[in-house]
Structure 1
Amino acid sequence: MAAAARAAHLLVDDSPSIFVDPLAQTFLGQSAEELLGYHRSYGGHPVLAGARTTAVTRSRYTEDRLAELARGGVEQYVILGAGLDSFAYRSELAASVKVFEVDLPATQEWKRELLVATGTKVPSSATFVPFDFEQESAHSLAGHLVRAGFDPDRPALVSWLGVTMYLTREAVGQTLAVISGFPPGTELIVEHLLPAELRDEAGQSYAEAVMAAAAEQGEPWRTFLSVEQMDALLREHRLNPVAYVQQREVMDPAGWERTDALRPFNLSVLARASVPAY
């Protein structure tokens, strides 16, 4: 659904695009016509417009930050819950950054099949790291990464988008504890959903619709955190909070003067934290 939102953004919404992912439609495979058809026909619907807004703003912020860090010498990018993320297959930056895609084994097998079916070459800079956040000990994540070629002595950017709401708070904390053991200079960008009382009307309507659909598919939303709660969780696991960014803050306010259906709303926050030097 996230890939469909990124793809539909280029088909449904007006210029200028907030985020450009030219491979998202390709990665949808045989589902492209059905999924994009909803956006084409009902693109102004709050849930579909909200999905596009969420997907493109979080991707833009994360990849903009990766570009900044790469200019400073960071050469490793870890994507937790990578799904159909296409960075490694479309970005010029991927030539100088080693990408580690972490996700469920079944999800990665599905993605590999899609890559073959669409004729998409897997670059040497991309590595698949099978991992189950709920079933495996979070402490084993570092070992999985190192065996896949991750250099534990060099900093990285770790992105964790669209995942924490599906996990227990305990599982989120365990993963944060592992990331805090990465080298100083490592940064984490993690998306967390706000509790109902902190959402605006648009955010609450979106949450009610999508949360019900996710539960029906066996993937209930479990964890909601205020900025203060996420701040405490990060500090508890020895990570230094740097910034908390909501959708409207991803770009200059003038960028939201749009003629399409995209509008920022209060649903999720991107928390950026760093691994301190001790």
Structure 2
Amino acid sequence: MLTGKPSRTALRVAIRRAAHQMADHPPVLNDPITAQLLTPETVGPSYDRDMERAMHPVGRDFRCMMAARSRYAEDQLADSVAAGVRQYVVLGAGLDTFAYRNPFSELRVFEVDFPATQEWKRWVLETAGVAVPENLIFAAVDFEHQTLAEGLRAAGADASQPTFFSWLGVVPYLTLPAFRATLATVGGFPAGSAVSFDYAFPPETLSPERRGIFDRLAERVAAAGEPFQLFFTEEQMETEFRQAGFHRVEQVDTDEMNQRYFADRADGLKLSDARFGIWTTAWV
């Protein structure tokens, strides 16, 4: 992300989630708030072009992936809430909308992001007329000057309470030390805490066809100033979790995600066979 500027990737993700609400029925992720946030005023002059592109059949794979990964994390969160978790931390929140449609009245939500992106989001919310709920806390964290633990403590998060973390669409952009520092922070929370995120496979492990798809995506995000730089195999990720203090790990591939969320759809919507990443949850 460019220093001092909001994340362009966060906007593109939100555009695809909004397009999913309008183009795919029923939606895998029921998220009417995103479409409310995205208007010509908040997106800018490219709004019509961006929405048309996201709703086009060619854009179907990406809007499908964005919706599915949020649905996966929110399902894992629901299980954690049923087990007694009352704190939810959204790392790299961008334009995530869970807090504004939160069905759990006792769940406190902390949105963590760079100050510039969070300032932009608050402007988007105000411009779109979306109220900030009382159980949402913004935690603007400048990682050049403070750690995640310090940022959460300053925002009032209770490190003695089991907490669920989501970390969607972030890991591939990190350095390995930054990834490990965040994982260690989450792993230091009490038993019952968990984290869900997605990550990308090393490009050299992909088939030529999948490598071509990945390279085109990598070129686009690099042009936006947010290049991919961190990749793992499933075995490497298992090792990272164990070293950070996690005791149970779930790794979900494309086939399992399609079975969970896209089985028997009349429109045939499903995740593509690109298969250059995976979804995971780990519990402390």
State the TM-score, normalized to the length of structure 1: 0.89
Q: How does 1:93-132 map to 2 (within 5 A)?
A: 93=104, 95-132=105-142
CA contact (8 A) 2:258 2:270 kept: no
Unaligned residue ranges in structure 2 (runs of 5+): 1-11
What pairs with 1:31-42 in structure 2 (closer than 5 Å)?
Answer: 31=43, 32-40=47-55
Counterpart Cα distance in 2 of 1:33 and 1:17: 21
* CA distances 1:190-231 after superposition (whole Å, capped 9, x unpaired): 211111244456643432222101111211100011111111
Q: 1:125 to 1:200 in 2, by over 3 A?
A: farther
2: CA distance between counterparts of 1:87 and 1:254?
A: 18
Which of 61, 76, 80 is matched with 1:69 structurally?
Answer: 80
How many residues matched?
Answer: 266
Contact kept? 2:73, 2:197, Cα under 8 Å: no
**CA separation of 1:248/1:132 partners in 2, compared to 1, >3 Å: closer, same or farther?**
farther
- 1:160 equivalent to 2:167? Answer yes
Equivalences for 1:2-13 in 2 at 5 Å?
Answer: 2-13=13-24
2 CA distance for matches of 1:202 and 1:96? 47
Q: Percent identity?
A: 35
2:239 is matched with which residue? 232
Q: Answer yes or no: is the 8 Å Cα contact 1:194–1:267 preserved in 2.
A: yes
**Is the contact between residue 3 and residue 24 of structure 1 (CA under 8 Å) also seen in structure 2?**
yes
Tell me the distance in 1 between the aligned counterparts of 2:210 and 2:156: 40
Is the CA contact 1:100–1:128 (under 8 Å) kept in the aligned structure 2? yes
CA RMSD of aligned residues (A): 2.0
Q: What are structure 1's unaligned runs of at least 5 residues?
A: none
Counterpart in 2 of 1:89?
A: 100
Q: CA deviation at 1:69?
A: 1.3
SS in structure 2 at match of 1:191: strand
Corresponding residue for residue 3 of structure 2 = none
Residue 25, structure 1, aligned to residue 32, structure 2 = no
Q: Which residue of 2 aligns with 1:178?
A: 185
Aligned twin of 1:212: 219
The letter of the residue matching 2:235 is E
- Larger mean CA deviation between 236-245 and 181-190 belongs to 236-245
Deviation at 1:157, TM superposition (A): 0.6
Query: Are 1:162 and 1:191, in contact at CA under 8 Å, matched by a contact in 2?
Result: yes
Letter in 2 for 1:81: G
Q: Which residue of 1 aligns with 2:4?
A: none
Partners of 2:20 and 2:208 in 1: how far apart? 23
Relative to the length of structure 2, the TM-score reads 0.87
- Within the candidate set 266, 280, 283, 1:274 is matched to 283
